[in-house]
C-alpha cells in the first residue's frame, strides 16, 4: 500500500531507545504530510515542521 498521508498512532510507545531513535530519524527524513497521534512532544519537535494541537 502506498498511502498519500500515513496515520501513526503513538509510533514511539513500547519501543526501546535505539528503535525510537531510528523511527524518529526515518520520520524526519520523510518530507510529506504525516498525521501523528502521540503524547511524545519531544518526538514531534524532531519530526515535524508544523504541529496542530
Instruction: Return per-residue pLDDT of the chain as tens, 53 residues.
Output: 777 899 999 999 999 999 999 999 999 998 889 999 999 999 999 999 888 88
Answer whether residue 26 is part of any domain: yes
Answer whether residue 39 is part of any domain: yes
Answer whether residue 15 is part of any domain: yes
pTM: 0.79
Structural domain that includes position 26: 7-47
What is the per-residue pLDDT for 44? 93
What is the per-residue pLDDT for 2? 79
What is the per-residue pLDDT for 1? 74
What is the per-residue pLDDT for 42? 92
CA proximity to 24, closest of 1, 48, 4, 7: 48
- Looking at the structure of the chain, the number of domains it has is 1
Amino acid at each position: 500500500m502506498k498511502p498519500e498521508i500515513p496515520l501513526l498512532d503513538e509510533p514511539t510507545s513500547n519501543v526501546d531507545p535505539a528503535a525510537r531513535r531510528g523511527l524518529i530519524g526515518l520520520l524526519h527524513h520523510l518530507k510529506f504530510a504525516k498525521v501523528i497521534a502521540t503524547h511524545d512532544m519531544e518526538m514531534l519537535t524532531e519530526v515535524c515542521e508544523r504541529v496542530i494541537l
